[in-house]
């Protein structure tokens, strides 16, 4: 299905809004730097199909080409770039598992599925866990692809500005994969050139601070090379706003635990200000429509700054669909799942998240479904009782709005938001408060988000002050207000765990969550209480994967593992 751009004044990548994406993708391999000889040869000598955008190849590969003979023109370079993008949308990454499984166990949400006894979602795992390995492995696959493209880009026969934009995107994506690694694993090997030998696999970790410095360097260079959001016209490619917004996120991370480089609050303020001051972004007046757009293949580049590109029903050769709306949708087991969306309802609310919302906050009953589907042949709804709280599923990604038919039981074309304008506004407010206290600018930004959440940006809405945050807060109280507002606005989007970590309240928040389950949840949810009780200081980081430690003798395990 064609993905439609909502702002008709924005030019798309092609005249009709469609984009054909060729891709260069290295095969999956277990070692970070090609430690398996067969897989290393595949990385260095095989050009395969990788998808980094909504539309797909019109041609099929007929042979194999060495990189020595590749990267000669714009078509080959863009094909390679799509391979770098491809990792973001993998099912093991943001196509499903990072937001839906790996980051769901927080004070705002939990995995409401008991048939997986071990995993990061229950804080019951060890260095051999497949989630631990796959996140590490896939990030390094993306980094290797970016390094290979960057090493060969200069010789390509293509327009210099286009070449610069490619370089900017590759630099940003490499930095983003490193940002993911350093958040999850702490000190990690930093590698900025393609792998050249299967014998060079023992590479020591670089201190996290130095990895962050490289992330900043790459992203700052990228910011000057990539196009603006309106020039690109859709959220699946890296724009200046994407780079600036993620730089603000990186700087807030550095300002918090464990680095506590508080000077980075100023940088976060400046980068978020650049997104706001660009004039390219606005909140969609309707909070619910923001999410319906993902289900109906609509772009809103003003509000959704960067999103994971997913497509189709996974029955085609490209298999670029995701699990959003299926695993993290409202539980529904229809008999005709080709026409009625099947969903498992794996992601549910905590007592705390539900009670963070006011009754007149429209985000609550969209983010947290107040009903279950009561019929196997339709979308008929049955409302939950007032006392049924933790039974309620994530409601943000609703398959009833999908337009592609036939539907796949387990896969959807629903894109996933990686960076939203409301997130940028909240990052500005947070950084401003840390530097200058709860200034009028800080209040203005959080109140913009709240006004939209309360429906005050809709046509005919009155009394916008009903949505405003209480005035006269201290700096500490405003910080707490930001923490709560991020839960209300961004719940179920995979950001909460690392927010709690950088704020230094992760372990305490999880202990409180366990107490909430014990006090308010039915006995059948004791597993969720146990999962929250499992959290200790070691869970701030994942362990280094056992397989990597066996291959890379220079690696050292993280504390506590």
Q: pLDDT, tens digit, for every residue of 424-460? A: 999 999 999 999 999 999 999 999 999 999 999 999 9
Distances (CA, A) of 222 to 142, 239, 248, 255, 280: 16, 9, 14, 22, 19
Distances (CA, A) of 444 to 4, 271, 279, 457: 32, 17, 16, 14
Q: What sign for the dihedral angle of Cα 473, 476, 482, 487?
A: negative
What is the per-residue DSSP string for 341-356?
A: --B---EEE-HHHHHH
Quick check: pTM over 0.85?
yes
C-alpha span between 165 and 556 (Å, rounded): 37
Mean of pLDDT values over 193-222:
92
Contacts of 146 (CB under 8 A, 6+ apart): 84, 170, 171, 173, 174, 177
pLDDT at 461 over 80: yes
Q: Residues 221-273: pLDDT tens digits? A: 999 999 999 999 999 999 999 999 999 999 999 999 999 999 999 999 999 99
When the pLDDT of each residue in the chain is averaged and rounded to a whole number, the result is 89
Mean of pLDDT values over 6-23:
32
Question: Which pLDDT score, from 0 to 100, does residue 197 have?
Answer: 72
pLDDT at 44 over 50: no
Residue 60 — very low, low, confident or very high, per pLDDT cuts 50/70/90? very low
C-alpha span between 116 and 138 (Å, rounded): 22
Question: Which pLDDT score, from 0 to 100, does residue 113 have?
Answer: 94
Question: Which pLDDT score, from 0 to 100, does residue 280 have?
Answer: 97
- For 109, the token pair is 């949400």
> Which of the two residues, 317 and 31, has the higher pLDDT score?
317
pLDDT at 57 over 90: no
Question: Which pLDDT score, from 0 to 100, does residue 3 have?
Answer: 52
- What architecture does CATH give domain 25-114+123-226+545-551? Alpha Horseshoe (1.25)
Q: Domain extents for the chain?
A: 25-114+123-226+545-551
Which range has the worst mean pLDDT, 41-45, 100-104, 149-153?
A: 41-45
Q: What does residue 73 show for φ and ψ, rounded to 5 degrees? A: -150, 175
Mean of pLDDT values over 296-325:
90
Question: Which pLDDT score, from 0 to 100, does residue 301 have?
Answer: 95
DSSP secondary structure code for residue 91 in this structure: T
Of the candidates 560, 291, 310, 264, the one whose C-alpha atom is nearest the C-alpha of residue 430 is 264
C-alpha span between 106 and 530 (Å, rounded): 13
Question: Which pLDDT score, from 0 to 100, does residue 404 have?
Answer: 87
pLDDT at 43 over 80: no
Summarize the chain as % helix, strand, coil (round to 5). 45, 5, 45
Question: Which pLDDT score, from 0 to 100, does residue 319 have?
Answer: 77
**Dihedral angle at the C-alpha atoms of 196, 201, 205, 211, nearest 10 degrees?**
20
pLDDT at 367 over 80: yes
């Amino acid at each position: 299905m064609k993905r439609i751009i909502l702002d008709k004044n924005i030019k798309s990548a092609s005249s009709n809004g469609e984009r054909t994406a060729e891709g260069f993708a290295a095969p999956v391999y277990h070692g970070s730097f090609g430690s398996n000889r067969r897989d290393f040869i595949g990385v260095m000598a095989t050009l395969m199909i990788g998808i980094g955008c909504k539309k797909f190849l019109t041609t099929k590969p007929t042979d194999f080409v060495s990189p020595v003979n590749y990267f000669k023109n714009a078509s080959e370079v863009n094909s390679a770039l799509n391979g770098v993008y491809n990792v973001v949308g993998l099912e093991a990454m943001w196509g499903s598992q990072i937001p839906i499984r790996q980051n769901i166990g927080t004070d705002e949400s939990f995995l409401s599925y008991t048939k997986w006894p071990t995993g990061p979602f229950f804080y019951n795992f060890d260095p051999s866990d497949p989630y631990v390995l796959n996140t590490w492995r896939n990030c390094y696959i993306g980094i290797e692809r970016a390094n290979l493209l960057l090493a060969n880009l200069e010789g390509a026969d293509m327009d210099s500005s286009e070449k610069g934009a490619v370089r900017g995107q590759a630099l940003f994506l490499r930095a983003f994969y490193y940002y993911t690694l350093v958040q999850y694993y702490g000190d990690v090997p930093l590698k900025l050139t393609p792998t050249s030998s299967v014998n060079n696999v023992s590479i020591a970790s670089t201190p996290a601070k130095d990895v962050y410095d490289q992330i900043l360097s790459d992203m700052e260079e990228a910011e000057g090379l990539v196009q603006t959001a309106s020039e690109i016209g859709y959220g699946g490619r890296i724009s200046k706003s994407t780079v600036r917004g993620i730089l603000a996120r990186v700087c807030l991370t550095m300002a918090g635990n464990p680095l506590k480089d508080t000077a980075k609050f100023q940088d976060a303020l400046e980068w978020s200000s650049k997104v706001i001051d660009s004039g390219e972004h606005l909140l969609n007046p309707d909070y619910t429509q923001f999410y319906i757009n993902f289900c109906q293949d609509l772009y809103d580049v003003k509000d959704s700054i960067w999103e994971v590109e997913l497509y189709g029903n996974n029955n085609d050769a490209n298999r670029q669909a995701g699990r959003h709306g299926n695993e993290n949708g409202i539980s529904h087991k229809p008999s005709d799942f080709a026409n009625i969306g099947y969903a498992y309802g794996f992601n549910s609310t905590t007592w705390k998240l539900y009670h963070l919302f006011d009754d007149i906050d429209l985000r609550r009953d969209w983010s947290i479904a107040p009903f279950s589907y009561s019929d196997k042949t339709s979308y008929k709804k049955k409302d939950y009782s007032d006392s049924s709280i933790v039974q309620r599923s994530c409601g943000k990604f609703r398959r009833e709005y999908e337009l592609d038919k036939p539907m796949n039981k387990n896969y959807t074309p629903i894109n996933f938001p990686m960076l939203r304008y409301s997130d940028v506004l909240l990052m500005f407010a947070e950084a401003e408060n840390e530097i200058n206290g709860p200034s009028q600018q800080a209040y203005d930004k959080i109140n913009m988000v709240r006004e939209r959440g309360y429906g005050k940006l809709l046509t005919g809405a009155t009394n916008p002050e009903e949505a405003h945050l209480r005035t006269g807060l201290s700096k500490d109280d405003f910080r707490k207000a930001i923490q709560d507002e991020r839960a209300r606005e961004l719940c179920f989007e995979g950001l909460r765990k690392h927010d709690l970590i950088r704020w230094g309240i992760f372990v305490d928040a999880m202990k409180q969550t366990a107490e909430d389950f014990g006090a308010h949840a039915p006995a059948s949810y004791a597993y969720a209480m146990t999962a929250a009780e499992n959290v200790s200081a070691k869970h701030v980081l994942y362990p280094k994967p056992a397989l990597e430690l066996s291959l890379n003798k220079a690696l050292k395990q993280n504390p506590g593992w």
